[in-house]
Structure 1
Amino acid sequence: MTGKNGQDLVPCNSYQPGTELYEVGYGKPPKATRFKKGQSGTPKGRPRKRQSMKGLLEEQLASTITITEAGEPRQITRLDAFLQSLMARAIKGDNRAADHLLKLMDQLDVAGPSDDGPPVVNIVIEGVSPPERDD
């Protein structure tokens, strides 16, 4: 038997009697060495893309941890725990923590407490005159 270009057809290595002969050559490997139907050449698939540092940090900050507050366990994100820790250290007098907190507030444009001071509550009791103020 001859192929398209006049060459003899070559049986593949696993030739079985009664099967068809076919041309083996460039782009036409023997049938025994071809990929099986429905089977990939890379069974494990393409390697996953490595996650960026930003993505890893976001993932870590979003994960939850369990803390005990007033004897009760509570789930909070690591970001919340970090900010609570930073705030607690700043309140206790840690100057570096206070500096970091103020810089963070400035970067995020977070306003602190208002400069008006604590709210004033006027209580009116009938029959009693208010005291004189020395302003």
Structure 2
Amino acid sequence: MSNNKNRSNVGFGNPPDAHKFKPGQSGNPGGRPKGSKSWKTVIEAELATEIGLKEQGVELKVTKMEAFAKRLVSDALAGNPKALGELLRQLNKYFGDVTPAEAKDLPASEADVRLLLKYAEKAIKTKVQNGGADDQANEF
């Protein structure tokens, strides 16, 4: 007769003792090496580096993240509907009273949609009046 005590401990998620990892033995020995950086760490480090930026004739030293934020706000103010939508989403995400799950769907309020449509209409009207030429500079 078989030993029922040993048999009941073996099954899905419970391998036999002979096949279990020993203490200190890795299940993925060829995995990520110690000391290697994650994607998040690399991006954070890159966005924290400083660059030179000329704003209204004045030379500034700002981080790449600050330059990115300045460009996003500048583009939104220039009437770029995609930049405006992203700016509103970021404002609602970081300054609004919403959960992270709700933030991915923003801008969702009726007022936000009306504002986006207003700026899109203005941008189209300007483009038509200028004959399709983009006269607005995308500088800081």
Superposition TM-score, scaled by structure 2 size: 0.43
- Which of the pair has the greater relative contact order for Cα pairs under 8 Å at 6+ separation? 2
Superposition TM-score, scaled by structure 1 size: 0.44
Larger radius of gyration between Structure 1 and Structure 2: 1
